[in-house]
Amino acid sequence: MKSASKAVLALALLGAASFVHAAPNCVVKLKGNDAMQFDLKTATVSASCPKITIELTHTGKMAAQVMGHNVVVSQTADMAAINTAGMKAGAAAGYVAKGDAKVIAATPVIGGGASTRTSFAGSKLKAGGDYSFFCSFPGHSALMKGTLVVTK
């Protein structure tokens, strides 16, 4: 009897969880600050979104040349290569190498008080894949990175 009621409870919880995931999340709102931090360590989006939008607000006061932030989305395994290429491309390129095929999406670099966004098709992501979002300003991704969880 006890195990039967546990099973019913587990089924109910599963039902609730799938209900929660029913509405796909297509917008991520991130904040970056003067302490070189994003406010999120994890964000979830759905590969079924026709369009995924990443919004970044720089809540600090420092200039883009000193404490600039952007958001780059890529497979986690590509982060280091994107950062290296971005550093070579320099500030004028927004620390993202032009035409870098490893970059799934990237915003421009902004300074304190500014905000920016980028959009891309959800079909560029695979559900269950290993993706990250990070800031490609030199040195920032050590702290400014998070996991982009992709659902169906």
Contact residues toward Cu ion (CB under 5 A) are: 69, 135, 137, 140, 144
For Cu ion, the closer of residues 24 and 111 by Cβ is 111
- From the CB of 108, what's the least distance to Cu ion, in Å? 12
* Least distance from Cu ion to the Cβ atom of residue 140, Å: 3
**CB of 6 vs Cu ion, minimal distance in Å:** 47
Q: Alpha helix (H) ranges present in the chain? A: 2-20, 64-67, 79-89
Q: Work out how close the CB of 43 gets to Cu ion at its nearest, in angstroms, rounded to a whole number.
A: 16
Is 54 within 8 Å of 30 (Cβ atoms)?
A: yes
Q: Which is nearer to Cu ion, 7 or 63 (CB)?
A: 63
- d(C-alpha 130, C-alpha 149), whole Å: 7
Q: How far apart are CA 79 and CA 87, in angstroms?
A: 12
Task: Decide whether 69 or 73 has the Cβ nearer to Cu ion.
Answer: 69
Q: Which is nearer to Cu ion, 45 or 58 (CB)?
A: 58
Tell me, what DSSP letter sits at residue 109?
P
Closest CA to 55 of 32, 35, 74, 76: 32
